Amino acid sequence: MIRKVRKNIVAGLSISTLLMACSHNFEERNSPLEMSAPLSWKQWSGPITSSQLNWHSFNDIYLNALISEALKENLNLESARRTLQRAIIQDQVNKGSRSPLVNFNAAASRNGQLDGGSVNSFSLSVPASYEVDLWGRRGQRIENSEIFAELARIDLQTSRISIAALVAEFYFGLRSTDRLILLKERSLASIVKQREITDARVRGGVATVTDLDRQDVQVADLQASIEDLRSTRKQTENRLAVLLGKSPQDFSFQADQNFDLASAPLLTIGTPLEVLRHRPDIKSAELRLASAHVSAELVRTRLFPSLAVSVSASANNSNLSNIFDFVFLPWDVASNFSAPLLDGGARRAELELAELDLDNEVTFYKDTILNALVDLESAFASEESLRRQQETIRRQSVIQERISEETKVKFNSGRASSLDLIIEEQNLIRIEEAEVSLWRQSMLITISLLRATGVEPSD
């Protein structure tokens, strides 16, 4: 029996060698993994060093608490964790295929006749089977399942980054909206005072009713703007509640009039190669490409023969105690060797499809790199432009504050009217509103860079 198995293996190796010589030869490709990243950034003019920026760099205790809560309670993350768990279990299933399949079967029956007499019958069998992994098929399947498990981990990492980014965006959106509402209310109070002065001047014949109408329009515009901001705030609050795994009825975001609109954290960026290696989408594209290579190789091995070995031991006896007498236990060993001969070109077609899939993954990987570079360079360009805008608005703020102080001095000495004082206050409020908008944009850019560089939040 052993000689027969050996002959089958030798025959299989001989046939497989011929098939390998005739099989489709894959073209040599330059792997995108070897594609060199740019040596330097185009838009970034800051220091090039390992980035120390993380989700705690905002130094906001409340924000950190919200992100931690979202990472624990968000329902999308819960689904991603289950997907990862499923991929890990599937990997364990595939790794279990490396062992032989052994079963245990036992049966008992009693036969007899109506006029008396009966016979017991007991049977026991232990069949085992194993497919010899001649071409590494089993190893390739296991390698693919490991890749899928790692892809699930990266998907979870990407989801965690996205959730943290959304929480931070909504948080700073609420903070900026609250500040804008305060400024709008302050501006409304100023316009109301201005209207009272104008009304007195109309009664004194110094101003016209048209001047009063214009201020009524300003009051109505400000009231509509405040209502719009409050509506936006409610919508953002509800969306933040969902991220935290709560219903809108169970969540309320309290406004803080003393909240400090601190500057965005200082950015430090590594080299393009370091940043690209850290991005989850690049890692995912690399794994997809590796999986395509493994799948193509697995399809190619289907052109080769397969060898399966089975062993079975069985016994039948009318006495249960004798069935476990292993000295007289019958056994059987068999081998099954099969090789493809004619399939109408189906396997060749599968091989061509695998090649196309591999080419598509190469293209996708290259495209992922280019899109990552675009994301980063765009964020750098926005950051640089915003920095210049903030410098300009700061200069305007300093000048306007000086003008407002001079107007107050003139008002106290009788050289300026209260109307002049209110007008300068309105100008200062508009500059403060612009500062709040730029502050929010600076936070959003920092968030986009945290996302673009693949910084994962800590629990």
Tell whether the model's pLDDT for residue 348 goes beyond 60: yes
pLDDT reading at 16 higher than 70: no
Tell me, what's the pLDDT at 329?
Answer: 64
Residue 46's pLDDT is: 66
Q: How confident is the model at residue 380 (pLDDT cuts 50, 70, 90)?
A: confident
42 pLDDT tier (thresholds 50, 70, 90): confident
Q: For residue 17, what are the contacts with CB-CB under 8 A and spacing of at least 6?
A: none
Q: Element (H or E) spanning 12, and its range?
A: helix 2-22
Among the ranges 35-49, 93-107, 109-123, which has the highest mean pLDDT value? 93-107
CB 87 within 8 A of CB 148: yes
Which pLDDT band, with edges at 50, 70 and 90, does 216 fall under? confident
Instruction: Give the percent of the chain with pLDDT over 70.
Output: 84
Average pLDDT over residues 99-111: 77
User: Which CATH fold would you assign to the domain 2-25+45-108+119-452?
Assistant: Outer membrane efflux proteins (OEP) (1.20.1600)
Residue percentage of the chain with pLDDT more than 90: 26
Pick 10 or 125 by higher pLDDT: 125
The residue among 83 and 419 whose pLDDT is bigger is: 83
Region for residue 309 given its phi and psi (left: phi exceeds 0; alpha: psi -120 to 50; beta: otherwise): beta
pLDDT for position 322? 62
pLDDT at position 69 is 94
pLDDT at 82 over 50: yes
The pLDDT assigned to 418 comes to: 77
Rounded Cα–Cα distance for residues 203 and 422 (Å)? 20
Q: Work out the mean pLDDT of the chain and round it to a whole number.
A: 81
- DSSP assignment of 170-219 equals HHHHHHHHHHHHHHHHHHHHHHHHHHHHHHHHHHTTSS-HHHHHHHHHHH
pLDDT at 13: 35
129 pLDDT exceeds 80? Answer: no
What pLDDT is attached to residue 424?
87
Q: Which of 214, 226, 217 is nearest to 187 (CA)?
A: 226
Average pLDDT over residues 135-142: 79
Q: What is the mean pLDDT of residues 380-394?
A: 87
CA distance 67 to 441: 20
The pLDDT of residue 156: 92
Sorting pLDDT into bands at 50, 70 and 90, what band is 317?
A: low
Measured CA to CA, the distance from residue 445 to residue 453 in angstroms comes to 12
The answer to whether 238 and 197 are in contact (CB under 8 A) is no
- Sequence spans of domains, the chain: 2-25+45-108+119-452
| Phi/psi of residue 386, nearest 5 degrees | -65, -35
Residues 357 and 295: beta-carbon distance below 8 Å: yes
Looking at residue 22, its pLDDT comes to 37
How confident is residue 1, by pLDDT bands cut at 50, 70 and 90? very low
